[in-house]
Amino acid sequence: MEVLIVEDDDAMAAALDAAVISAGHRATRVSRGADALLVHRKFEVILLDLGLPDIDGLEVLRKLRQVTPCPILILTARDDERSVVLGLRSGADDYLVKPVKLVELLARIEAVTRRAGRFGGTRQHSIVLGDLEIDVDRRVAALSSRVLPLTATEFDLLALLAGHAGSVVTREQILDALWGDAFLASSRSLDVHLTGLRAKLQLPGFIINVRGVGYRIEANPA
């Protein structure tokens, strides 16, 4: 399993790293919250310290939760009940109190990943919505059997929205999936790609703008 350790204390990070590796997992350590937000997608479990030098750990947690269902275990320096409660309310799967016991750490990692596995669906390889067909493997989208001349980004955007048809996909989820950074400062480029995609689809009302949240494609288009 790929484990991300977000911890600014070198000694603590080294101990966690050794523990994770001893159990046969792979570990990557970052010491800043901003780095966690950038690299999180490669990992299956995230160990998140709450006291980080750049961004408060709870804020990092909330931001991660907006974009990933990845199991997150928070690490608290002491038995800080308030942080634990806030962490769990903000979407942490579990918590560990430092100093972390090796056996406990591994047991918690096993438990949260087992739980997460129940929700992990298999990846879709083709999506059909009315007259629209998307071949995810070949990266081709066709409308009424006519191939749409989409750019790579327009295709990714369409496949993402269509893969979640019936649900709202937030701007943060889109930015994270397409650019690897949910909190991209210049999110205006998304609007540009969306305009291009809509122009090529020529299906008014197909991609619905959910004001202030994100976008949705209906599961059963007319």
13 vs 129, beta carbon nearer Ca ion: 13
Q: Is 133 a binder of Ca ion (CB under 5 A)?
A: no
Distance linking the first and last C-alpha atoms of the chain? 43
- Nearest approach, Cβ of residue 52 and Ca ion (Å): 6
Q: Does 51 bind Ca ion (CB under 5 A)?
A: yes
* Whether 43 contacts 70, CB under 8 Å: yes
41 φ, ψ to 5°? -65, -20
d(CA 112, CA 103) in angstroms, rounded, equals: 14
Asked whether position 49 contacts Ca ion by CB under 5 A, the answer is yes
Distance (Å, whole) CA 36 – CA 60: 8
- In the complex, the smallest distance separating the C-beta of residue 15 from Ca ion, rounded to whole angstroms, is 13
Q: Does 8 help bind Ca ion (rule: CB under 5 A)?
A: yes
Site for Ca ion in 71-130 (CB under 5 A): none
The closest of 204, 207, 193 to 154, measured between CA atoms, is: 193
Q: Between residues 51 and 221, which has the closer beta carbon with respect to Ca ion?
A: 51
Residue type at position 166: G
Nearer to Ca ion, 39 or 77 (CB): 77
Q: Considering the complex, state which of residue 40 and residue 98 has its C-beta at the smaller distance from Ca ion.
A: 98
Residue number of the CB atom closest to Ca ion: 51
Kindly determine how many residues on this chain lie close enough to bind Ca ion according to the rule CB under 5 A.
3
Q: Which residue lies nearer to Ca ion by CB, 17 or 133?
A: 17
Phi, psi of 97 (to 5 degrees): -100, 130
Task: Find the shortest distance in angstroms from Cβ 191 to Ca ion.
Answer: 38
Segment interacting with Ca ion (CB under 5 A) among 43-51, 92-100, 142-150, 161-169: 43-51
Of 106, 118, 96, nearest in space to 50 by CA: 96
For residues 1 and 109, give the distance between their C-alpha atoms in angstroms, rounded to a whole number. 10
List residues binding Ca ion (CB under 5 A): 8, 49, 51
